[in-house]
Chains A and B, each alone.
Chain A
Amino acid sequence: MSATYLDAKGRPVVVVTGRGVVTALGAGRTSNWRALTAGRSGLTRISRFSCHGLKTTVAGTVDGLGVEPYSAPALCVAMATEAASEAILEAGIGTPSAFPGALFLATPPAEIEWPQRRQLYAAPSADDARGYRRLLAAARLGRLESAFPEFQFASVADRLSERFGTQGMPVSVSTACASGASAIQLGVEAIRRGDTDAALCVGTDGTVNIETLVRFSLLSALSTQNDPPEKAMKPFSKDRGGFIMAEGAGALVLESYEAARARGARILGVVKGCGEKADDYHRTRSKPDGSAIIGAIRSALADAGTDPGEIDYVNAHGTSTPENDRMEYLSLAAVLGARIATTPVSSNKSMIGHTLSAAGAIEAVFSLLSLEMGFLPPTINYDVPDPDIPLDVVANTGRDAQIRTVLSNSFGFGGQNVCLVLGAEPT
């Protein structure tokens, strides 16, 4: 193996050869990039269900894929299929039904939803049982057997594995809002170990339903700034009030640099490093000293062999919650030092919302597009800067900038923090 195919630690260099994305802004890289660069928001009033009486009535739903009736796993499969197809097509790898590598999927927890519960409950019951006894009796009679595979945790990965013919046992991962980045990290590690030459890494999330909305609302995590919907998220602003739930999927085809070059693939970027650090402070809050987030950023830089001074741009987690944005700033400042004042930072979530399990994968796709296009999408709704967060926010309009190295942050409830260092092809 030629030395250029190995990184400084002697491991195979892992490159990106395909990218696919679906968000509330649309399906595909082109429509997403057009909207992102124009600073357009995909957040709208929720029409999927009645929001009467709810404090948050806005979301970034994906409604154009013909998933009727809605169920989270069905939408997750549809969006992931769209994004993965686009990524595989761009990579030109394998055949459409035989991907020569493993599947790593970030996907939300799956469980039976209210329509299915109600359908079972409405079925005739011999002894007029109530509650779960009634549900179980109906299930035992096979009343809804066709729905079983959909509500297994393995279902979304299984459908994708079948559709794309990926190799081996598909792996489903959850690190809450860091899941998408974890899926990429799993792919990178598998290629570095030589377990596989290629990996299809996908993050998908389609869980805008009433119960999940209420649950996030009860955690006081959601913005209630419903009017107008496109201004509901204001990352890094003083008047930020929480995040907005959103749907989408992002997909990357990863390959060893050597394998990609050998087949003449176009190199779209390098995953230089991945880093993690778990928090042991609180279930929904990070350590006040930021040590877990700082640890994740530092570990990604160390894994990449990248000096903090080489970070040209930060694709922030930027959830627009009072806590996250402050902690993210403090942690970035701790690692980047004085350079933080002049390192541009964007939160894609200002436009696409918080795509939860998919966020890390979607934002990696956008980071790679920034590298390719030499353009940084804006953080919209940045009208009232927070003096406690003196970041170089790419405010309201995008910026031309030739960059070579991007830091992409993802932090999850439950304290699971994952950072990626993405770079341009080595010259």
Chain B
Amino acid sequence: MTAMPMTNGGGGREVWVTGIGLLSSLGEGLEAHWTQLGGDTQLAPSPVIEAARFAPYPVHPMVALDLNRQIPRRSDQRQMEAWQHIGVYAAGLALDDAGIKGDAALSSNTHLVVAAGSGERDTEVDERILELAKACGEGDLPANEILPSALRPTLFLAQLSNLLAGNVSIVHNVTASSRTFMGEEMAGIAAIENAVRRVASGQVAVVLAGGALNAERNDLLLNFELGSMLWSRPYRATWERSDEGGGFVPGSIGAFLVLEARDHAEARGARPHARITGVLSDRSDRTFGAAASSGSRLITRLVRPGDLAGLAVLSGASGVEPVTGDELGLLTSDALGSIRPPIRAYGTALGHGVEAHFPAGVALAALALSKGAFYPPLDAAGIECPTLAKPDRILVTGFGHWRGEGVALLEEIV
């Protein structure tokens, strides 16, 4: 929404990040990510890549999860597919981190906002049907003979976008309200923006917000490759794909945040990671230069001159061109005044999490602010410059691979 940027000076309530649940190819939880991303050593991480299984498409595979730790009932585990396992697991980590898990009254008063794409298809059934359909040429799809016996009822529930949220409610008893946003990267931006606006305006006190992506799926790859959006060459860092036309490397990611009103967090003694001072979003038509103009307007409105000191940038760039190049041009121009903040395209290390990508960026920003250090450069090309300065503020960007621009600003809580 373009109207009304929120800032902590705007009279609204302060929004704190009091819980983070993060899962990716790099590991499970905050400490694993801080270590793997070289937060302490300032050594560039080695991305975890699955190059063979979906060749020619590299993907970042999810680290092995012991589902029993966050989804204790086997019957619940069976009712979900992988993207839901990832999301419910990450949501549980965030609730644990915030000290909400197991508090029935607080869980029941916690609102849920999820960013979701399509659920998972039974690709083996699809492949059988395609072979049969090929045999019958142009005729009707023989689906009515095949589908009723081939499809599992539970898989439909894994396909409905809102059923990640449904499963989070069932497993973690978060039930105050439940909203699922869709629209690829815009889903993640809308989820965080909606949660932050509701807390800042005093509508609600605690929101669990986030998303999940299972990148290890042929049906998901097909949805994006239809538009030639995937990177189909050996893995390279996000900024280093443009001379081969660009493209994104999907990454399995689960990213959930507990966003809480400061007074509510203080009253229950919750420890904050960082404060979110604002989230803004817009949609440009992606004609030449439109994404950069849109992003520039958002950054100008969100990042005030007084916010530039100690600023660092976590870019959600996907690697898809030309938008990735447009964003890099913007971030290295005077859009951020004369300073040249350190920039990290976190998708280089995690892969692109589509709906989960913006929540993951906000999670990594809050983590760095709570640690009082920034991440080392993730690329080898020198676009990302080293810094030993402690970040006071982190700007998270989200330029969708096809549509949508969003930015969030987080601050250290001193």
Contact = CB atoms under 8 A, between A and B. Distances in A.
Contacts of B151: 214-215, 218
Given A154-B404, A196-B3, A414-B166, A210 B144 contact: yes
Interface stretch (B215-223, B363-371, B377-385): B215-223
B282 A168 contact: yes
Interface in A191-246: 193-196, 210-211, 214-219
Nearest to B150: A214
Interface in B37-84: 57, 79
A149 interface: yes
A131 B130 contact: yes
B406 A173 contact: no
B336 interface: no
Contacts of B166: 278, 283, 413-416
Contact of A284 (B112, B126, B157, B187): B157
Given A112-B222, A168-B283, A149 B201 contact: no
Interface in B86-124: 112, 116-119, 121, 123
B167 A149 contact: no
Contacts of B340: none
A82 B48 CA distance: 48
B173 interface: yes
Contact of B186 (A154, A217, A277): A154
Contacts of B178: 175, 276, 278, 414-416
A147 interface: yes
A195 B1 CA distance: 8
B156 interface: yes
A61 interface: no
B182 A107 contact: yes
B183 interface: yes
A310 interface: no
Contacts of A179: 162
Nearest to B180: A174
B160 interface: yes
B118 A153 contact: yes
Interface string B174-188: 111111111110110
A363 to B, nearest CB: 19
Interface stretch (B20-28, B224-232, B303-311): B224-232
B165 A154 contact: no
A173 B181 contact: yes
B338 interface: no
Contact of B402 (A152, A214, A283): A152
Contact of B143 (A135, A193, A214, A412): A214
B126 to A, nearest CB: 7
Contact of A279 (B144, B175, B182, B228): B175
A135 B222 contact: yes
Contacts of A194: 3-4
Contact of A132 (B126, B143, B144, B170): B126
Interface in B240-265: none
Given A167-B2, A280-B169, A176 B187 contact: no
A161 B283 CA distance: 9
Contact of A50 (B121, B144, B223, B232): B144
Interface string B389-411: 00000000000101111100000
Contacts of B130: 117-118, 121, 131, 135
Interface string B117-139: 11101010011011101100000
Interface string A150-167: 011110011001100001
Contacts of A49: 140-141
A146 to B, nearest CB: 9
B144 A283 contact: no
Interface in B1-41: 1-4
A290 interface: no
A52 interface: yes
A7 interface: no
A365 interface: no
A174 B162 contact: yes
A215 B129 CA distance: 15
A415 B180 contact: no
Contacts of B406: 169
A74 interface: no
- Interface centre among B112, B118, B148, B222, by most chain A C-beta atoms within 10 angstroms, is B222
Contacts of B173: 280
B2 A168 contact: yes
Given A154-B184, A415-B170, A416-B178, A110 B118 contact: yes
A145 interface: yes
Contacts of A118: 130, 133-134, 141
Contacts of A112: 222-223, 226
A169 B175 contact: no
A334 interface: no
Interface of B: 1-4, 57, 79, 112, 116-119, 121, 123, 126-127, 129-131, 133-134, 140-141, 143-145, 147-148, 151-153, 156-157, 159-163, 165-167, 169-170, 173-184, 186-187, 189-190, 194, 197-198, 201, 203, 218-219, 221-223, 225-229, 232, 281-283, 285, 400, 402-406
28 contacts: A49-B141, A51-B144, A53-B145, A109-B119, A109-B159, A116-B226, A131-B126, A131-B127, A132-B127, A136-B221, A136-B222, A139-B225, A148-B227, A152-B183, A153-B182, A154-B403, A169-B405, A171-B190, A172-B186, A196-B1, A196-B3, A214-B143, A214-B144, A276-B176, A280-B169, A413-B157, A413-B163, A414-B166
| Minimum-distance CB pairs A-B, first 5 | A414-B166, A148-B227, A154-B183, A132-B218, A276-B177
Given A154-B403, A168-B283, 6 more contacts: A131-B123, A136-B222, A152-B403, A168-B1, A176-B160, A189-B203
